[in-house]
Each structure stands twice: as C-alpha cells, then as structure tokens.
Structure 1
Amino acid sequence: MSKLILTNEVVGLGGAGDVVEVKDGYARNYLIPQGYAVAWTRGGAKQVEQIRAAREARAIHDRDEAVALKDSLEATKVRLTGKAGQGGRLFGSVKPADVAEAVAAAGLGSIDKRKVHITSPIKATGEHEATVRLHEDVVAVITLQVVAAK
C-alpha cells in the first residue's frame, strides 16, 4: 500500500489535500502520472496545508449559496458548440473545462472544472448530462445541449 497526498479531487477517493492509502499499482500507474497525487513524505505536512488552503479558497463556503447555484444550474440547459461532421459526430469530445466555460458564458456563475464529472464521453451533438460537486453534500446535474458550430 502506498501513502499519497491528493493534489486534485478524485471521485470515490477524496479531495485535494487528503492523505490516502491506495494499492501500489493504482498509485504508480494512474494517480501519480496523471498528476492527481504525490508521494507522502514527512515534509509533506506543509504541502498538505498549502493544498487545503488553496482548495478552501476555491470552494463555495456557504451551503445555501451552493443550493441556490444548483437550482439555477438545473433549471437551464447549458449550450455548448463544437465542430461536428455529418451525423452530428463531434471532432473530439466535450471536456470538463468546456462545461465550466459554457456555464460561465451562460451567466450562471463560475464553477471549478475539477468539480465537473462527465459519466460517459460526449462525442455527438444532442442533450447530455454532467454532474458538478458544488459543496460536500450538494451535487448538481447539468443538462448540456451540444450543437454543431456553423
């Protein structure tokens, strides 16, 4: 088992600044190469505090504010445009950063791209769903309307 410090939120494992123990292969082959974690060291306590402070600065502090943002996100469809070929197939796919930019462009507020989770790759036009973790216990489901760019 490897002891790691998470640098980003990993669904089902923890948030940035958390110290976790995972199997060696998961740490060596996925978490560390993707930049989601760093190896834990004795001097890592300072690093943990810096990561947690940065996470707190980005977080929505008030649960009521998160619920209000959730209601506004779920009430509207977020429109995304992308280059598409015949049949509505996109060149590439929709990424969490694209969703965060579209939400900001729609005037619904700013969300952290690291909090956006797309369950299955979005590679075609149409309506799709994505989830956003706004607060520890507030998760919004966003309806994405993907259209072809003209």
Structure 2
Amino acid sequence: MDIEVILNKKLDKLGAEGDLVKVKAGFARNYLIPNGLATIATTTTKAQVERLKKMRAEREEKEKEQALELASKIGSLRLTFNLLGEKETNKVFGAVTTQDICERLLQAGIEVDRKKISLDRPLKESGLHVVPIHIHHDVLAQLQVEIIFPKKEKEAEKESSQEKAKKGDKKKKDKKEKKEKQLKKTKAKKAEDSST
C-alpha cells in the first residue's frame, strides 16, 4: 500500500525537499519518518510544503550564483602540464587525468569533485585542450589545459653551448678587428715618422 509523504530533505531517486511523493507504507514508517527525512502528508503538513519549496528555491538560487562565480574563475585559468614525448608524432609518454586536473585546481585554490570533470579518456596529445567541468546542473565551466614538452637536458645543453659558441665567435671577431685597427694605426704612424 502506498502513502503520500512530504520530503524534508533532498533524496536521490525520490525528489527534493518539499516534494509530495508516494512511497510504500513500510518504507515511510521504517526509514523516512524515523530518520526525519519525510513527514506524512496531511492537510496541516501540506502547508509546510510551500515553506519548504520557498526555502529550496532560495537555496538553489544561491548555489547557482556560487557556481557561476566558480565557473568564471575556472574559465580564466590555464593549467600547463609538462610531459615527456616526441615532437614529431605529437604523442606524450604518460597522460593527464581528472585526478591530475583536480590536484592542480586545488593548488590554485579551487576545490572541484573529480567526477564533475568531463574527460572521455586521459589527455595524451600536446597542445591546448578545453575540458568541461559540470559545477551545477545549470552551469558548465570550460577549463583550458595545455600539454607541452619540456626541453630535454641534452637539448638545453646543446642550445646553451651553441649560444656560448656564438658569443665566443663574436668576441674573437671583435678582437681581430681591434688588432687590425691597431696595426693600421701603427703603420700610419710609422709612415708619418718616416716621411718627416
């Protein structure tokens, strides 16, 4: 036998607070009512429904405002991950998962449940990716995640040695030009001295 109850709190698969729902009499008597999750729907308790619905609407509006604020913070972020990989194939070794994104967001002072981050599969390609995050049932944030290849030590050493070589070549060239100028001056001076 079913009875009507008014939910005092939001319950998954049943409804939100203030909803008038039909449930099995045993479920209502043994679980919902003793735990304060619902009350039996009578003429007096139905008056409470309006009050509960108003409270729910206010709470949901506040939650939505907070979600929009959080979405704008997330939208302004750009998380960068350095992964090893091959530039030729654009493939990386390892991957960026929802857990990695969640930890980086936490470092930025934003706490998000990793289940709300929508990734079909971990990110394994370099470049810029847009990751949707479901903050609220009406609010979706777009997070920018960039995967780059760090310069390997050998590449960095090679570049720095090339720069040093260029600087050394320039110094040698400057010294050579300076010596040539001095030689010209001394030859000119000798020529002057010999003519007088």
The alignment's TM-score, normalised by the length of structure 1, stands at 0.53
Partner of 1:90: 92
Letter in 1 for 2:85: G
Q: What secondary structure sits across from 1:131 in the alignment?
A: strand
Q: Which residue is 1:30 aligned to?
A: none
In structure 2, how many angstroms separate the alpha carbons of the residues matched to 1:124 and 1:133?
A: 23
Cα distance in 2 between the residues matched to 1:121 and 1:101: 15
On the 8 A contact 2:98/2:122 being kept in 1, the answer is no
Aligned length: 95
- Secondary structure, in 3 states, of the residue corresponding to 2:115? helix
Q: Any conservation in 2 of the 1:100–1:110 contact (CA below 8 Å)?
A: yes
Alpha-carbon RMSD across the aligned residues, in angstroms, is 2.7
Q: Which has the larger radius of gyration?
A: 2
* Unpaired segments ≥5 residues, structure 2: 1-10, 14-26, 36-61, 152-196
2-structure distance, mates of 1:116, 1:81: 20
Moved over 4 A (4+): none
**Partners in 1 of 2:136 and 2:129 — Cα distance?**
22
- The aligned runs of 1:1-150 (5 Å cut-off) are 18-19=12-13, 62-82=63-83, 84-87=84-87, 88-105=90-107, 107-119=108-120, 121-149=122-150
Report if aligned partners of 2:118, 2:132 keep a CA contact under 8 Å in 1. Answer: yes
How high is the sequence identity, in percent, across the aligned residues?
21
CA distance in 2, matches of 1:18, 1:80: 37
User: SS at the partner of 2:73?
Assistant: helix
Q: Which string of whole-angstrom CA distances, capped at 9 and with x for unpartnered residues, describes residues 105-140 of structure 1?
A: 2x1411111100024642112100111111121110
More helix per residue: 2
Which structure 1 residue ranges, 5 or more long, are not aligned? Answer: 1-16, 20-41, 50-60
Question: 1:147 Cα shift?
Answer: 2.1
TM-score for both structures, normalised by structure 2:
0.42
